[in-house]
Amino acid sequence: MQSSLLLTKTNNTKIPSHIINKYPILMPLICLISGIFWQNKLPINQCLLIITILSLFALLIKKIYQRELICLLCFFSGAFLLQNHQNNYALLLNKLNNKKIDIIATIENKEHIPNNQYSEIIKLKISKIKTPNDISYLPINFNILCYLKNSTNIEIDDKIEIKSICFKKPSINKKTLTNNPNFQTYLLKENILTTIFLQKLIYKKIYSPNFSFNKWIWAKKQELFNHLKIKLQADTFSFFSLIFLGNKSEKNLSLKKQFNNWGISHYLARSGLHIMLFILIWKFLFCLIPLAIQIKQIILISICTSYQFLSWTSISFVRAFYVFIFYEIGKLINQQTNLLHILNIICFYILLINPTQLFFIDFQLSFALTYALIFFNQFAKNKI
């Protein structure tokens, strides 16, 4: 086999090396996805995965068949990352189920729920945990969602200690109508160990920072949200909150039912299209202002970054945001940019830090449709 061709076949055809050289992340990405999918369908023993990864890494150092080894390394790394995350999650669930535990956690997010039986949701980032059988606290890296009927006065980034909190293993449901995996897999994707429902949270505050960037951002986000809620009409704010802020707490049930009847409820889901509309509006306004192109690009990147901090993100929003940021930075430093290459990097990074994303419909549709649009756009250019 010639060195200019990769050892991969699709319908008895070979992928030319110029495509691989143009998109160097493409084949490692395909192998990473294949490894994650394979591990989900036909699990491989964790010890075997570690030995395989170390062996491939040792061969990679010697630079023997480097490209092929990188692809194999990505395949087994994807399988290992998924199994490691699943195993840690399952072991903790079995260990803590139906037990009263002590935890030390940091407040990661806090959300008020209007017109609901629970008034507040708190997301706790657990740093240490202790069961009745443990002598001291053990470090872990998972979150817990607390639904509270009574509101608290704790703030973002406060570190608290909670004693004797009852832990229950979340139920396993069948796949949803959207073909998403069960509830436990959803919690795993969000890195949430379980959800807890309490009348009141009894805690001891260990540390509260004088200033925290996360606390400041959260306060500004809530201030903007409440200010717009007062200024806009209820229906207008409901649409604006869903589409441009990504907050689902103010959704109008009657309008949602109408959208469902017409089969256009997906327009209410926040997607990359909405941030592109946001960017196009600002680009149009900048056309009316006599400034250097580089200054306009810097201002636009700053505005979009602020918008990202002040809104509630989703996977499609994250994908569109980082594609835009990388593309604009490339133009700003006078480097050639390629949308497909940027998308490959973003997809690779997301799956590397959270391989469970691969099994959810929002990730699949967001990236699949974007890949399709880029492919047909390039095909049309080649035709012309």
Residues 246 and 373 in one domain: yes
Give domain status of residue 183, yes or no: yes
pLDDT over threshold 90, residue 88 = no
Residues 39 and 54 in one domain: yes
pLDDT over threshold 90, residue 348 = yes
- Considering the entire predicted model, what is its pTM? 0.82
Domain end (from 188, 210, 232) = 210
pLDDT over threshold 90, residue 349 = yes
Residues 161 and 205 in one domain: yes
pLDDT over threshold 70, residue 89 = yes
Residues 221 and 328 in one domain: yes
Domain end (from 26, 53, 84) = 84
Taking the C-alpha atoms of residue 354 and residue 337, their distance in angstroms, rounded to an integer, is: 26
Q: Output the domain CATH number for residue 133.
A: 2.40.50
Measured from the Cβ of residue 141, the count of other Cβ atoms closer than 10 Å reads 10
Give domain status of residue 275, yes or no: yes
Give residue 13's pLDDT: 40
Residues 73 and 199 in one domain: no
pLDDT over threshold 80, residue 230 = yes
Give residue 18's pLDDT: 53
Give domain status of residue 1, yes or no: no
Give domain status of residue 285, yes or no: yes
Residues 126 and 173 in one domain: yes
Band (229; pLDDT cuts 50, 70, 90): confident
pLDDT over threshold 90, residue 278 = no
pLDDT over threshold 90, residue 210 = no
Give domain status of residue 9, yes or no: no
Choose the most confident range, by mean pLDDT, from 7-16, 70-79, 211-220, 242-251: 211-220
Q: What is the pLDDT of residues 297-313, one digit of tens each?
A: 899 999 999 988 888 88
83 contact partners, CB below 8 Å, separation of at least 6: 39, 43, 44, 46, 49
Single-letter amino acid code for the residue at 98: N
Give residue 384's pLDDT: 66
Band (201; pLDDT cuts 50, 70, 90): confident
Average pLDDT over residues 336-360: 90
Give residue 299's pLDDT: 92
Give domain status of residue 11, yes or no: no
Exposure of 34 in the CB half-sphere (CA atoms within 13 A): 12
Residues 78 and 157 in one domain: no
pLDDT over threshold 50, residue 2 = no
Print the domain residue range for 65. Answer: 17-84
Burial group, residue 144, by CB count within 10 angstroms (0-12, 13-18, 19+): buried
Residues 304 and 318 in one domain: yes
Of the listed ranges 29-33, 171-175, 239-243, 359-363, the one predicted with least confidence: 171-175
Residues 196 and 344 in one domain: no
Give residue 1's pLDDT: 32
Contact 146, 173 (CB under 8 A): no
DSSP character for 164? E
Residues 70 and 162 in one domain: no
Give residue 84's pLDDT: 87
Q: What is the pLDDT of residues 285-301, one digit of tens each?
A: 888 888 888 898 899 99
Q: Which two tokens stand for residue 259?
A: 């959208």
**Count of domains forming the chain:** 3
Q: SS3 of 212, please?
A: coil
Residues 121 and 202 in one domain: yes
Closest alpha carbon to 311 in 224, 193, 197 = 224
Give domain status of residue 3, yes or no: no
Give domain status of residue 307, yes or no: yes
Containing 47, the helix (H) or strand (E) segment is helix 46-61
Residues 188 and 323 in one domain: no
Measured from the Cβ of residue 202, the count of other Cβ atoms closer than 10 Å reads 11
Taking all residues of the chain, what is their mean pLDDT, rounded to a whole number?
Answer: 81
Contact 111, 249 (CB under 8 A): yes
pLDDT over threshold 60, residue 11 = no
Closest alpha carbon to 315 in 190, 208, 191, 224 = 190
The percentage of residues in the chain with a pLDDT greater than 90, rounded to a whole number, is 12
